[in-house]
Amino acid sequence: MTDAPQLYLMTPAGAQASSLAPMLAEVMDRVAPACLRIRGGAEEDELGRLADMAREIAHARDVAVVIDDHVKLALRHGLDGVHLNDGAKAVRYARKELGDDAIVGAFCGTSRHEGMNAAEAGADYVAFGPVSDSALYRGDPVELELFQWWSEMIEVPVVAEGAITRELITQLTPITDFIALGPEIWTQEDPAATLALLWG
């Protein structure tokens, strides 16, 4: 465990590459993320354009890029890996397709059991969420005790995501490796300024 978690930045779901590019560069220059995740929600052609744009901006800043669920797009567009939204199910498949050096992350909702399965299957990180009530996620928020337990018991890095507030960042700082932000900033008028305020 590091003392301070790193920023894990998510693009807006369904984003258009052309309109996102200048904002993305500005946001990443304001607070340097450890990883950039391309969210789904767009047509495959648009996701391809997003992948190329995000890779160019992120790799120029030494930031790794993963994409939601699309193993083939990750390969085709030279991304660093994938973020799997269905827990442990596809971790071994993604690893086989992408190779040992790729990043394979798994979102496991609020399930410690699913997280352990993903870690056992070879995930590079496990994400839990939402951390507070969010219309974007199914089910109840994850208990912060899960992050506490994970950080003490499991070596695989843990990501907190979903409805993150400044107060939650303070609470999560000692017990997570990464904190994911996306909708929290992109819905605001000035995403870069909002990120700077949140990340403080």
pLDDT for residue 136: 82
Weakly modelled stretches of the chain, pLDDT under 50: 1-2
| Ordered domains of the chain (ranges, CATH) | 6-177 (3.20.20.70)
- Rounded to 10 degrees, the C-alpha dihedral 165/169/171/172 comes to 120
**Burial of 52 per CB tally in 10 Å (0-12, 13-18, 19+):** middle
Residue-averaged pLDDT of the chain: 96
3-state secondary structure of 51: helix
Structure confidence by residue, pLDDT tens digits, 162-179: 999 999 999 999 999 999
Structure confidence by residue, pLDDT tens digits, 121-160: 999 999 999 999 988 888 899 999 999 999 999 999 999 9
